[in-house]
Amino acid sequence: MAAQEVQWIRSILMEIDETTIKEATKMYIDNSGAMELARNDKMSKRSNHIDIRYHHLCQCITDKEIAVKRVASVENPADMFTKPLDKVKFTKFKMVGGDHGHQGAPSEVGC
């Protein structure tokens, strides 16, 4: 789950830098229902089936390790990994992910 991966990455960064991370890591969610459940930490009869990972996420939010933020579905760069995209969207999300068109090492030209 994403919350567990965030905790793992935060712990690695703290080991490397030997400091504490003061800000919550932002986690962007495009599902309004999931965001509402995560923020409110209230269970209803319809949400009783949710497993321990949900409670773990709520605890991370309470402990200020993670802050959930809303992202519109059409603007969600995670779609690059989960859905087929047209060229325009793929290029846009690729730029968001840090790929700015580097071609790599130039090819060698010899005699």
Measured from the Cβ of residue 60, the count of other Cβ atoms closer than 10 Å reads: 23
- Which of 35-44, 45-54, 84-93 has the least mean pLDDT? 45-54
pTM exceeds 0.75 = no
Residue 50 confidence (pLDDT) = 67
| 46 vs 57 pLDDT, higher one | 57
The CA distance from 54 to 75, in Å, is 24
The CA distance from 33 to 60, in Å, is 18
- Compute the average pLDDT of residues 27-52: 71
| 38 vs 12 pLDDT, higher one | 12
Q: Residue 41, SS3? A: coil
* 13-32 pLDDT per residue, tens: 888 887 778 889 888 888 78
